Amino acid sequence: MKMHFVERFTQPGEKISLYRNGAFVDFCRGPHVPSTSRVKAFKVLSLAGAYWLGDEKNPQLQRLYGTAFFNKKEMDEHFARLEEAARRDHRVLGKQLDLFSIQEIAGAGLIFWHPKGGIIRKIMEDWMREECIRRGYDLVFTPHVMRHELWKISGHAGYYAQNMYTPMELDDADYQLKPMNCPGHILIYKNTPKSYRDLPVRLAELGNVYRYERSGTMHGLLRVRGFTQDDAHIFCTPEQIEDEVVACIDFAEAVLKTFGFAEFKVELSTWDPKDRKNYAGSDDKWSLAIDSLEHALQRKGIPFRTISGEAAFYGPKIDIKLVDALGRLWQLSTVQFDFNLPARFDLEYVGEDGERHQPVMVHRALFGSVERFFGVLIEHYAGAFPLWLAPMQVGLVPISEKHIDYAKTVQSQLQIAGLRVELDDRNEKMNAKIRDLTMQKIPYLLVMGDKEAAANAVSVRTRGKGDEGSIPLEEFIAKAKKLVEEKSTYL
């Protein structure tokens, strides 16, 4: 193995390096620790296969993973972080909190949203749809299966075929599940002639797409075979691009802020002009698009990293990576140019000059995938959702059977106020009810006995704070409604 590198790096004029630890001499770019005595804390982590030179066509080697630190404290902190991440694992929390499941009998990578996950999804989707309408998008719905002919025109049947479910034959035609929503939106755009006065046309859809993922690649909600994109396509004139991109970034910021993510990083992926032949679209279009994206980011005053050669073949893009509660990065939102599809579908609009022009198309997804966003959300909050998102917002704990009637009147008043309530009327001691509901991470538990029933009050136990004493029911309702209204992350 080392001979491969010796041969590769020992061309005339090339500098090579050798490292020595005691009797062990290694041919390596380095650096190595000067002495193994510097390594005060280390641990073997795992054993796994890895492809020779990272290419799956090459044979696999056994790779032994380990980690080392200058002292025990640093190592302990590292493992504490890993444990914290494991404790927040959305797959584990999804089971404990009964949010979603994946069923072997139904197939890998296909998500079942249970009632408690479903209500969160409904809140996410309602918010997204209303926000789209407020921001000038039109909502559309497109079919889940469409004829193979369409995917040939869009080019997916060619360059995306490995990721698509195979066609199903029906009458005289082959139909295929959609891996993307773009062609559907394009057909709606094309259905009527467009004037420059109609632009920009912004079509949005929470579209279910299906992609074949290789068997070893699925991971909970984060990598699946069927998912929902909060997808939109904006058809506009070249002059409108910059404003549209700024609006998309504003929108993305609003999404992240609303769902509790304070931090994010932005990357601008551009082409590599030296590799010209690998990109569709004219030079003019590329430089206009890259300039627009850059100007938009500068106008927003957002710091970003430009990565050349990372663009899709059909256009440059902005990727927004959010930073979660543990400092991990997640790629979700994306704003992409597409020079390919407007040409393939021969899109046009009539300009001020009375001539036909080709519109520019921007593709954007903010949650990215509703499933993945939900997975990240679960881990970010460790399952302790803010009040407006919590599937069960209030848990009711009658102290004894005598207080169940009062608890029912409290329940109906909370429900009338629009709150999601769980009444624990089991034949259990109060302590057991508090424990069980606490483990469900319910934001508020209301304990009620003789004193509360007499005063039309509730004893409030707030998640993470404990017993906060009795207050009038009306007061609690007003407070809870306000926090929901504000989408507060505090209780």
Partner RNA sequence: GCUGAUGUAGCUCAGUGGUAGAGCACUCCCUUGGUAAGGGAGAGGUCAUGGGUUCAAGCCCCAUCAUCAGCUCCA
Distance in Å, CB of 124 to RNA, minimum? 14
- Residue 229 annotated in active site: yes
- Among 225, 285, 363, 433, the active-site one is 363
Among 369, 406, 476, 491, binds RNA (CB under 7 A): 369
Q: Residue 148: name the closest of 137, 159, 140, 156 by CA.
A: 156
Given the rule CB under 7 A, which of 51-59, 164-172, 192-200, 246-254 is the region that contacts RNA? Answer: 51-59
Site string for RNA, 229-268 (x = CB under 7 A): x---------------------------------------
Q: Does the active-site annotation cover 363?
A: yes
Token pair 């499941």 is at which residue?
101
372 binds RNA (CB under 7 A): yes
Choice among 211, 225, 441, 463 that is catalytic: 211
Q: What is the dihedral of CA 383, 385, 391, 392, to 10 degrees?
A: 100
Closest CA to 46 of 16, 19, 82: 82
Beta strand 394-398 with 444-448: parallel, antiparallel or unpaired?
A: parallel
- In the range 71-130, which residues lie near RNA by CB under 7 A? 91, 95, 102, 104, 107-109
Q: Which residues of 74-101 are buried (b: 16+ CB within 10 A; e: fewer)?
A: ebeeeeeeeeeeeebbbbebbeebebbe
Check residue 8 for interaction with RNA (CB under 7 A).
no
Measured distance CA(365)–CA(370) in Å, rounded: 10
Q: Which helix (H) or strand (E) holds 26?
A: strand 24-27
445 binds RNA (CB under 7 A): yes
Is 360 in contact with 374 (CB distance < 8 Å)? Answer: no
What the block records as the tokens of 173 is: 């035609």
Q: Which of 67, 400, 409, 412 binds RNA (CB under 7 A)?
A: 400
Residue 18: its H or E element:
strand 18-21
Question: Omega into 31 within 30° of 0, i.e. cis?
Answer: yes
The interface with RNA within residues 164-223 (CB under 7 A) comprises: 211, 213-220, 223
Whether 182 sits among the annotated catalytic residues: the reply is yes
427 binding RNA? (CB under 7 A): yes
Is the CB of 309 or the CB of 418 nearer to RNA?
309
Q: Are 350 and 196 a contacting pair, CB within 8 Å? A: yes
Cβ nearer to RNA, comparing 7 with 55: 55
Contact 376, 426 (CB under 8 A): no
Q: Kindly state the smallest distance separating residue 406's Cβ from RNA, in Å.
A: 10
Give whichever of 15 and 214 is closer to RNA, judged by the CB atom: 214
Q: Which of 390, 447, 477, 480 binds RNA (CB under 7 A)?
A: 447
Q: Which of 90, 233, 364, 463 is catalytic?
A: 233
Binding residue count for RNA, defined by CB under 7 A: 70
CA distance 370 to 162: 23
- Out of 7, 11, 13, 56, name the contact with RNA by CB under 7 A: 56
Indicate whether 48 belongs to the interface with RNA (CB under 7 A): yes
Range 337-365 burial, b when 16+ CB lie within 10 A, else e: bbbbbbbbbebbbeeeeeeebbbbbbbbb
φ and ψ at residue 72, rounded to 5 degrees: -65, -35
> Who's near 257: CB < 8 A, 6+ residues apart?
none
Which one is catalytic: 88, 176, 185, 229? 229
Using the minimum distance from each CB to RNA, give the nearer residue, 199 or 221. Answer: 221
284 an active-site residue?
Answer: no
Is 231 a known active-site residue?
Answer: yes
Q: How far apart are CB 50 and RNA at their closest, in Å?
A: 4
Residue entry with tokens 């296969």: 49
Give the C-alpha separation, 421 to 417, whole Å: 11
Nearer to RNA, 194 or 225 (CB): 225
How far apart, in whole angstroms, are the C-alpha atoms of residue 289 and residue 270? 9
Q: Is 43 a catalytic residue?
A: no
Contact set with RNA (CB under 7 A): 46-51, 54-56, 60, 62-63, 91, 95, 102, 104, 107-109, 211, 213-220, 223-225, 227, 229, 331-332, 334, 365, 368-369, 371-372, 399-402, 426-432, 434-436, 438-439, 445, 447-452, 459, 461, 466-467, 469-470
- The catalytic residue positions are 182, 211, 229, 231, 233, 317, 363
